[in-house]
Structure 1
Amino acid sequence: MSKRYIFVCFGVLLFVAAGTGLFYWYADADFSEGAGTASVDQNPFVVSHAESPVPALTSPDQTQELPALPRDERVSDIDIDGAVRVDMNGNLVLDRQLRRFLDFFIGLAPGRQYEAAMRQRMQAVMAAKGVPESVQHEVFDILDRYLAYREAAEQMEPDAGTSSADIFAAFDIVYGLRREYLGSDVAEGFYGVEERRLRLALERQRVMADDSLSDAEKSRALAQIDQNLPEHVRRSKETSEAVVSTVFRVQELREAGASEAEVRALRLERYGAEATARLEAVDRERQQWQKRLADYQQRKQAVMQSEGLAPQDRTEALRLLRESMFEGHELRRIRALDKMAETAG
């Protein structure tokens, strides 16, 4: 399908949020509701991208050649993306894996004229994996609605506005469009996780952009928004904020001339003994690296200032110096630093 579809559905909604880093700590978090719900991954039925190659151009019984699609060559050596899943009761699982499965085959067929061939290929894959015919029919019914939704979304004219009101309006339009064409269950399964994530991000952006609020009022409003996060995401956020806070506090202590004993006491309080020991090991490694780097820079300076060396001899001398002091990833790191210094200077 056209790139315009992708722009409309994601570009308009994500422009401000992504551009201002509003997804921060929970951008990649699992946003699923109800941690106690059994994962559908425990009941996969068919079409897992981990084990399903792109379908060969023959039917499962080898009696009928399947039609080729225009973009087959793009995926000739990769597995099918997404999955069709059935739960323990035999019901089709409406999730993002199903949406990715549909997108995979839609991506092979750039236009409605290839739809029949696309459906034949999809049916062959599902049949080969033992998907019941009733479930196959349901998948194709969802495909019809999904294609209609995508076409409707392509007709939307993106609004150039980037204010909070504009972005929320675009979000609400796409949110409603999905439910109008897909139904609430399919729309929730396909988009619910990212919609909740995006809505919270936009709410945070609206608060931060509100100049009528004081810093304290913004902090309270943001904290209230965070209460809508799933518990495990809130814990992750709190942990991340604690780590960042401690890192800055350690930096402040050292800049103020505090002793390493004071730094250790802070880390023990915030992280515990095991994590503190690991951080201290990292500190020692960093200090050793800085010492070796300073030694290298001093020796390098001596080579650079040596009189009588031709340019090629100086280059060779620097290479030998690097290789005598570093190896492996450290050697690659030194080469990169030297290249950056040459570019800058």
Structure 2
Amino acid sequence: MLAVAVAVAAGGLLWWGAQGRAPHLATTQARGDAVIDESAAEIAPVQGNAATAMAAATARDSLRGTVADGAVHLDGKGHPIADRELRRLFDYFISRIGERNEQQIRADLLAYLSARLDQGAVAQVLAWFDSYVTLQRSASTLAGEGGDPRAAVVRLRGLRAQRMGEQIAQAWWGDEDRYLDYTLARQDVLADASLSAEERARRLGELDQSLDPSRQALRREEDAAQRTLAQSEDYIRRDVPAAQRYAEREQEYGAQAAQRLAALDRQRAAWDGRLRDYASARKSILSDTRLSPAQRESRLSELLAHRFDATERLRVDALARNDLLPR
């Protein structure tokens, strides 16, 4: 769990450690570009022809047909704001690492920005982007060092402040960090064998009350998800028939939830089958002594690209690097 916490603290930066083999596709829901006048709190559309530039830049990769996720916001004086939407925009472009190199990605971002902003604003946003890329490399190095996960979190937060400045670090990761602190404190309470059941419940309740209402709702959803996940894992271990699973879930959660969970069971079974097939093909490539190292790496990259989409490749690559693929 602590290792997972470090990954959460990294805020999605760990993909850089994959050396570009598995690009992460950010959410591609259109959010629209806007100029924000903070003094008047009004939003007006930004004019520009960046959509054409984006279509050309992504015509042959995993972002084809998408629109940029995130936005550049400006204050009342026309200066860019380093808010969460800007970080989302950076992540959208960087998600193509492995399909385009860093220089190409930066050039794509430059073209996107130039269609929307004046030169001064473009220069500022690019400076933030360069610092963000440098931070990503350093963060992936921290994640691979091992050792005390909590100490790694502290080092990562210090690195963010150093690279981006304290104000931007708070704007981009402050909410995530507060929730991570809550998660680690909750884990400490759960692991404390000296606590009675009543004391443990009291402390967990106090921690939950420290969350803002939206996070409290998320916590309840996570608890429910963990319960259904544990139940599903138990069903798998006991090889419970689908009809029995449905009947028990319907009684506990209702018909609609039972239907959704049954669909998830089918999706998981299909995913597990795909993983087994991939692992078998990957093992054959790795054991083929006729291949040179370069040929082997090329075959592995092709296999991954042909079997999984951009989002799935990140998951599969992580499983492979941690020796967690089916055997």
TM-score by length of 1: 0.47
Q: Which has the larger radius of gyration?
A: 1
TM-score, normalising length: structure 2: 0.49
